[in-house]
A and B are shown apart, each in its own frame.
Chain A
Amino acid sequence: MSTVKFTVSALAVIAASATAAAARDQVQVSGSSTVLPYSTIVAEAFGENMDFPVPVVESGGTGSGLQKFCEGVGENTIDIANASRPMRDAERETCTANGVTDIMEVRIGYDGIVFATAAAAPDFAFTPADWFNALSAKVVRDGQVVDNTAANWNEVNPGLPAQEILAFIPGTKHGTREVFEEKVILAGCEESGAMEAFVASGMDEDAAEEACTTLRTDGKAVDIDGDYTETLSRIESSPNGIGVFGLSFYENNTDKLKVGTIGGVTPSTETIASGEYPVSRPLFFYVKAAHFEVIPGLPEFVQFFVADEIAGPDGPLAEYGLVSDPELAATQEAVAAGTTMQ
């Protein structure tokens, strides 16, 4: 008999709980895994300094975060989406179609992308052109467009060590890949004159760009779909490898990694802030203004995030590896005024 009683009471519990699902009282954040550590640092500081619960921060990537963000407005949807690239037009349209209209875009700072080898490897001083010539599927040799056959770095540039080419680059689902292609491979393509040669060989502009960013598939460029910890363990198991990392990840693992320079500039928060180090990108988060009135602590959390004590050059985020935004004051004003995207 007890089984029957159990079942009945259990069903009663579900029924009661479904109706009693109380209003959500903590901020929900999702999105980019690059922004995740910064977001958790701020969430933690927010929770211990304010009388609000600590925001819940999920990761999963910029794309999936924005997708969840654009599902609609209401307590069952997230309040903030972290992004390591600006929102795309298509995503904006999905948002509008689902009634997510008043969106605040907040730029929190910049993230550097660095190239690092195992600590025992020789020093590398790259230029974007070296990366293009090492990894692109088609390169220009003596004015001719040929398949890339370079096996060692010194074949690409005599100034580099005679080490086998093996690069662990972020997979295509990462926002970092886009920056890598645009700021390193494409820049190197133009710098080395290969772009002109591609156009001269009869391609139009788009096809030439496509040819620049098509990477070789003979195992020299390895896509890493996991996160930086996977790249690190790949480098530890194959000491000839060179990995692409976020600056903050490198700064937490300087005992295992050695960073290469780009155009003679060593990446650091200073050289990235001054613009000397070329490979960086802005980090954002997007907020639903419609949730400000509904979710307790949301406006306070957004203001807390961009406050000088947190996102400023002496704050904990900069300490962790975020390059603080020189225009932080403008962002603070926009947040205070509640300016939404047009």
Chain B
Amino acid sequence: MTDDPDHKPASLLQQDARTKARNAAEKRFRWYGIIAIAISMIALVVLLATILTAGAGAFRQTYLNIPVTLDPAVLDPKGNRDPAEMAKVLTLSYGRVLDAAVEATVARHGIRIEGLSDKDIDGLISKEASAQVRDRVLAEPDLVGQTVEFDVLTGGRIDGYFKGRVTMDSAARDSNTSPAQLQLAQELANRGEIVTRFNWNFLRLADASDQRPEAAGVGAAIVGSFYMMLVVLFLAVPIGVAASIYLEEFAPKNRWTDIIEVNISNLAAVPSIVFGILGLAAFINFAGLPQSAPIVGGLVLTLMTLPRIIIPTRAALKAVPPSIRDAALGVGASRMQSVFHHVLPLATPGILTGMILGLAQALGETAPLLLIGMVAFIRDIPSGLPQGLFDPASALPVQVYNWTQRSDPAFIERASGAIIVLLVFLLCMNVLAIWLRRKFERRW
């Protein structure tokens, strides 16, 4: 075929230099791909491993079981068991009753440790305990005068000791604990009085102050995030889907729709803090909605999520072949019938996926919440719907941000625990999105 005298006929068994070079290039490219995936996998594994090791502790908590003698002289000075009168006794007084109870427990076990002070013994239990006992006593005033068993939280340092965060070495330098206190805790654990168990309260309780990291939980944050997601779901999804259907199926193609299209793509790329500024001006200052409330958070996140729902929804509608529309119109359906009876059902899996991914993104957002007062210390869990939408609430990513700024090292464990909770929610949403796509996807 060729005029080149040097050209040898190609052999199937022997590759020529050019083929070799091309094959080598392909091989190299495959390796680059594998290396790229390996790097991202390593980053992911390192990230997950750090968070899991740091955060696993948040799901376990150490409790001390003590009998508390509810001294009537302190808790009900008037002696009439009237809850209104007894409410005047502050938690500080309950703290003293509890201190006596812990000292009695230590004495009962006959534990003697050199250098153990009363402060060390009292510091065994969390300050949360006095609130716990007070609530119980006010609910059942007849308990006063009796000796009642309580399961109280141990202090943050003691809890840290059983989780390996606090050691005898660090305790020697630590002004909030001492090796003697840790020895005492170990003795009590050996006798079965201190137990570590799964920490449901981490998922149930709200934030706690800097003095009681052991009592802090993500309850208020989960409820707040849930309410905000409800608002986003009920606003962003219908508005986003309606807007996409109109733009894709009904709107004439002219300059106006072009401008709208460019703006939607633009909005999707606007930094989320901008929506926070807008939310502060529009919903709080102008509409008069309360600060720190999930309704405002939800509205802000709705604005942020809208373009992120419209874009995939339009893509899903576009992906439905025109032949479907033509067939529907051909048998006499109106344009609206063709859209709602044929196009929309076929586009649903794509729309659902876009919606869930949009929600997942909104769930992890902190910046827009900064300006509307949701990055705050929230101790009360918001009430039920609909009033709960107006109560102050926190959100999961906000809780993480808050805890990383606290001075007590125990909050680092809590922050990682909250990240785990957030990751589990995100994982569930993403799995649901993939499952919906797989289940309902149609190919043409």
Point out residues on A near B: beta carbons under 8 Å: 1, 3-4, 6-7, 10, 13-14, 17-18, 20-22, 24, 26, 28, 30, 33, 36-37, 39-41, 43-45, 47-49, 51, 53-54, 56-60, 75-76, 78, 119, 227-229, 248-249, 251-256, 309, 316, 319-320
Contact = CB atoms under 8 A, between A and B. Distances in A.
A327 B235 CA distance: 54
Contact of B377 (A20, A40, A119): A40
B373 interface: yes
A247 to B, nearest CB: 11
B373 A316 contact: no
B72 interface: no
Given A4-B242, A43-B209, A13 B379 contact: no
Which among B127, B390, B405, B408 has the highest number of chain A CB atoms within 10 Å?
Answer: B405
Contact of A76 (B170, B284, B295, B380): B284
A17 B290 contact: no
A28 B174 contact: no
B129 to A, nearest CB: 11
A248 B290 contact: no
Nearest to A78: B291
A244 to B, nearest CB: 14
Q: Interface size bucket, B side?
A: 35 or more
9 contacts: A6-B238, A7-B242, A17-B386, A18-B288, A43-B377, A59-B375, A251-B175, A255-B171, A319-B211
Contacts of A26: 380, 392
Ordered nearest first, which 4 A-B pairs have the shortest CB separation? Answer: A54-B379, A6-B238, A255-B170, A57-B377
A231 to B, nearest CB: 11
A38 to B, nearest CB: 9
Given A4-B242, A56-B373, A309-B90, A37 B288 contact: no
B54 to A, nearest CB: 14
Given A57-B377, A320-B211, A253 B238 contact: no
A299 B193 CA distance: 43
Nearest to A119: B173
A36 B210 CA distance: 9
Given A18-B288, A56-B377, 13 more contacts: A6-B234, A17-B289, A21-B290, A30-B373, A37-B210, A37-B407, A41-B211, A54-B378, A119-B173, A228-B407, A229-B406, A251-B175, A309-B92
A229 to B, nearest CB: 6
A144 to B, nearest CB: 44
B392 A56 contact: yes
Contacts of B212: 44
A104 to B, nearest CB: 21
A232 B288 CA distance: 41
A36 to B, nearest CB: 7
B67 interface: no
Nearest to B157: A255
Contacts of A54: 378-380
A40 B295 contact: no
B239 interface: yes
Interface in B375-415: 375-380, 386-387, 389-390, 392, 404-409
A255 B173 contact: yes
A53 B380 CA distance: 7
A255 B291 contact: no
B386 A41 contact: no
B208 interface: yes
A254 B174 contact: yes
Contacts of B377: 36, 39-40, 43, 56-58
Contacts of B127: 316
A33 B407 CA distance: 11
Which among A37, A78, A248, A256 has the highest number of chain B CB atoms within 10 Å?
Answer: A37
A51 B390 CA distance: 19
B91 interface: yes
Interface in B75-125: 87, 90-92
Nearest to B174: A255
Contacts of B234: 6, 10, 13
Contacts of A320: 210-211
Contacts of A319: 211
B359 interface: no
Contacts of A309: 90, 92
A224 B242 CA distance: 48
A34 to B, nearest CB: 11
B379 A45 contact: no
B291 A28 contact: yes
A271 to B, nearest CB: 15
A249 B289 contact: no
B259 interface: no
A43 B209 CA distance: 8
Given A6-B234, A36-B377, A44-B208, A1 B287 contact: no
Interface string B195-213: 0000000000000111110
